[in-house]
C-alpha cells in the first residue's frame, strides 16, 4: 500500500449494537447505528483510514471477521457487546491478531452491573477505550492513526507473561 492509499480498518460490533439510538438511550445515547457508521467513516477519511463498520448478533460471524482481520493483518476496533464477558471463542480469535486491536465500549462497564466488569477480550487487546459514548470509537480511530505502526509496520500479538 502506498503512502496515499488509506489503510483499511475493521470496526466490528457485537450483539444489539445495531439498535443504537433506540436501545436504552440513557445508557448508550441517542446516536443511531447509522450515525455511528457515518461518524467513523468520516473520521477515517480525515485520518487516511478506509473504515469498514460491521455489526452482528452472531458469535460465529464475529469470529470469522476476526480471522479475516488476522489473515489480512488488519487493525480492528472491536465492541464485543455482551460477548465481552463470556465469549472465549471470540477471545481466542482476537488473540490471533496480527495488527492492533482496540476494545471499545460506549458505556463504562465498570460503572454498571458487576457481570459487566470482566472482559475476556481485554487481556489480548492492544488497549481498551470505554465510557465516552460514540466518541470511544473516534478515540480508537485516532489512536490507530497516530500509533508508531501507522506506516505499515504492525506489531503481532502481545507477549505472554
> Is 85 labelled as part of a ligand binding site?
yes
Q: CA-to-CA distance for 90 and 120, rounded, in angstroms?
A: 9
On whether the CB atoms of residues 154 and 102 are closer than 8 A, the answer is no
Q: Is there a binding annotation on residue 57? A: no
C-alpha cell belonging to residue 142: 485516532
**Catalytic status, residue 105:** yes
Sequence-distant (6+) residues with CB within 8 A of 50 are 6, 7, 8, 9, 44
The verdict on whether residue 13 carries a ligand-binding annotation is no
79 labeled part of a ligand binding site: yes
Asked if residue 136 belongs to a known ligand binding site, the reply is no
Measured CA to CA, the distance from residue 152 to residue 149 in angstroms comes to 6
Catalytic residue among 67, 105, 110, 117: 105
Q: Is 116 annotated as a binding residue?
A: yes
Residues in the annotated binding site: 79, 85, 92, 106-107, 116
Residues in the annotated binding site for substrate: 79, 85, 92, 106-107, 116
Which amino acids are annotated catalytic? 28, 105
Amino acid at each position: 500500500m502506498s503512502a496515499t492509499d488509506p489503510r483499511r480498518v475493521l470496526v466490528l460490533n457485537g450483539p444489539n449494537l445495531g439498535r443504537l439510538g433506540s436501545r436504552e438511550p440513557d445508557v448508550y445515547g441517542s446516536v443511531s447505528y447509522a450515525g455511528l457508521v457515518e461518524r467513523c467513516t468520516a473520521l477515517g477519511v480525515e485520518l487516511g483510514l478506509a473504515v469498514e463498520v460491521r455489526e452482528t448478533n452472531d458469535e460465529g460471524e464475529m469470529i470469522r471477521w476476526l480471522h479475516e482481520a488476522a489473515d489480512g493483518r488488519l487493525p480492528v476496533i472491536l465492541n464485543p457487546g455482551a460477548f465481552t464477558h463470556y465469549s472465549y471463542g471470540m477471545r481466542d480469535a482476537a488473540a490471533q491478531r496480527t495488527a492492533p486491536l482496540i476494545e471499545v465500549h460506549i458505556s463504562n462497564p465498570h460503572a454498571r452491573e458487576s457481570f459487566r466488569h470482566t472482559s475476556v477480550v481485554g487481556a489480548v487487546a492492544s488497549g481498551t477505550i470505554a465510557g465516552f459514548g460514540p466518541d470511544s470509537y473516534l478515540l480508537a480511530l485516532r489512536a490507530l492513526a497516530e500509533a508508531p505502526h501507522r506506516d505499515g509496520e504492525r506489531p503481532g500479538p502481545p507477549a505472554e507473561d
